[in-house]
Amino acid sequence: MFNTNTKKNILSLAQQHGFALCAFTQPQVDALNQAALDRWVDARMYGDMDYMGEEVRTHRRKNPATMLDDIQTVISLGMPYSPPNHENARPQQGIIASYARGDDYHELMKKKLKALARDLDVLLGQHGQRVYVDTAPVLEHALAAKGGLAWQGKHSLSINRKYGSWFFLAELFTTANIEPDSEATLHCGTCTDCIPACPTGAIVSPYIVDARLCISYLTIEFKGFIPENLRKPMGNRIFGCDDCQTICPWNGKVEIPEVDFLKPREDTFLPELAKLLALDDEGFRQMFRKSAIKRSKRAGLLRNVCIAMGNSGDTDFVPQLLDVLNDDEPLIRGHAVWALKQLANNDDKVRQHIQVLKDNEQNTDVLAEIASFERII
Ligand code: B12
Ligand code: SF4
Ligand code: SF4
């Protein structure tokens, strides 16, 4: 079994590749986490993320050893990113969650994980390895906690004393037998601050997040018409949400990463909503090349922008919202109708435009938004 000295060498290699946090554990998930995952899946809290509900994948999450023949060790890794600084946002600007402000972390971290795996082949001799970040059926928090890298907070995210929760997780599964680290202890204590801080009540009980209510899910993963009761609480959050983390006392005094491999881009800092709503397909592609934001596609992002405009109280947005009633995407037309309902439902010109849209509209979801607009006048 590889022990302390080898572990120090691995830690140093991990740090060179940007993984400031590194912990070792055995490839097992305990009964509490297994049962909690089953309950979450049975309650369909994954919403439309079908990959989270598949039986085969749930089995793999509960049994990490099924991911690699002769696996001995899971190396959990954490890459810190810059905490958010969007507290002074104006209602005319959109808030993009901090994790998404730089290059897409999946691509960058995968490259770095592969480079680390090559170094480990040199250090330990050629051996079996698999690398994962985010998308594979791996219960990342549970493994990180088992190796002591972080503990799981009541908002369900992993927290570390040095970096708070502002870091990404990744794993390197290996056939090398490395001495495991001890499990993390919990440090939320009696605090429950994140639970009422969630604008949509998505933390349904300590440690459990119902994705269907979470703004991160709604603005990024969910591709449909956002349930009307959740639109107002979204405020001007247009991609992801940081609220349960910004309130957390463990994020009060955190270390800023020495090198931020996922350096936030200037144009993702509180972008003007008007500028975003003007993006066509090409403009969207150019602005969000290599960025995690392309995941929502133009239709999803502009849907979120329409909601933020509707919540802004600023009637200067009305002409631009009238323009996008002609957009090819039903998602954008429908949410523009909702925004106009918030801002100018008594305006004759707006009513005329909505009537014209109604006369030509084929999409049933957009027609439902128009019916809702008409109910209020
Ligand atoms: C699906 C997913 C989402 C979904 C669902 C989130 C969720 N909480 O399940 C949505 C789209 C909502 C989402 C949002 C976000 N996500 Co996300 N997401 C994932 C993903 C892919 C899977 C999570 C999962 O397995 N969920 C299933 C549920 C059942 O698991 P769980 O929440 O861990 O639940 C456990 C606890 O409830 C525990 N439990 C139950 N009872 C008890 C009691 C005690 C005492 C304890 C200790 C534990 C416990 O048992 C459960 C099973 O282990 C992971 C990557 C991965 N592969 O793990 C990233 C991941 C969790 N996401 C991440 C991020 C950054 C976010 C956002 C912060 C992004 C943003 N700013 O908008 C938000 C945060 C929302 C939140 N509060 O969770 C990071 C978190 C990094 C960190 N430091 O923790 C991860 C790890 C991605 C990564 N590779 O870095 N995400
Ligand atoms: S990310 Fe936002 S919406 Fe999701 S649980 Fe945290 S505070 Fe709630
Ligand atoms: S806000 Fe409080 S309860 Fe929530 S994760 Fe942080 S310490 Fe834990």
Ligand closest in space to the Cα of 98: 1
Question: Which of 174, 197, 223 finishes a domain?
Answer: 174
Q: Which residues line ligand 2 (CB under 6 A)?
A: 155, 198-200, 202-203, 209, 214-216, 241, 243-244
Ligand closest in space to the Cα of 200: 2
Our count of domains for the chain comes to 2
Residue 272 within a domain: no
pTM: 0.97
Domain that holds residue 9: 4-83+102-174
Question: Which of 140, 174, 208 finishes a domain?
Answer: 174
Secondary structure (DSSP) of 265-287:
-GGGSS-BHHHHHT--HHHHHHH
State the pLDDT confidence band at 2, using cuts at 50, 70 and 90.
confident
**Of 273, 77, 262, nearest in space to 170 by CA:** 77
| Backbone angle region of 74, left / alpha / beta, with phi > 0 → left and psi within -120 to 50 → alpha | beta
* Separation between Cα atoms, residue 299 and residue 372, nearest integer Å: 21
Task: Name the pairing type of β-strands 95-96 and 237-239.
Answer: parallel
Mean pLDDT of 180-205: 98
Residue 325 within a domain: yes
Residue 268 within a domain: no
Q: What angle do CA 285, 319, 374 make, to 5 degrees?
A: 105
Same domain, yes or no: 154 and 299: no
Q: What is the pLDDT of residue 377?
A: 53
Q: Whose CA is nearest to atom 28 of ligand 1?
A: 37
Question: Do 21 and 164 form a contact (C-beta atoms < 8 A)?
Answer: no
Q: What is the pLDDT of residue 253?
A: 84
Residue 319 within a domain: yes
Q: How close is the Cα of 214 to the center of ligand 1, in Å?
A: 11
Q: What is the pLDDT of residue 376?
A: 67
Residue 255 within a domain: no
Q: What is the pLDDT of residue 247?
A: 98
Mean pLDDT of 205-234: 98
Q: How close is the Cα of 126 to the center of ligand 2, in Å?
A: 42
Q: How close is the Cα of 198 to the center of ligand 1, in Å?
A: 15
Question: Which of 154, 174, 194 finishes a domain?
Answer: 174
Residue 9 within a domain: yes
Ligand closest in space to the Cα of 194: 3
Residue 58 within a domain: yes
Residue 134 within a domain: yes
Question: Do 43 and 121 form a contact (C-beta atoms < 8 A)?
Answer: no
Q: Whose CA is nearest to atom 4 of ligand 2?
A: 214
Q: What is the pLDDT of residue 339?
A: 98
Q: How close is the Cα of 376 to the center of ligand 3, in Å?
A: 40
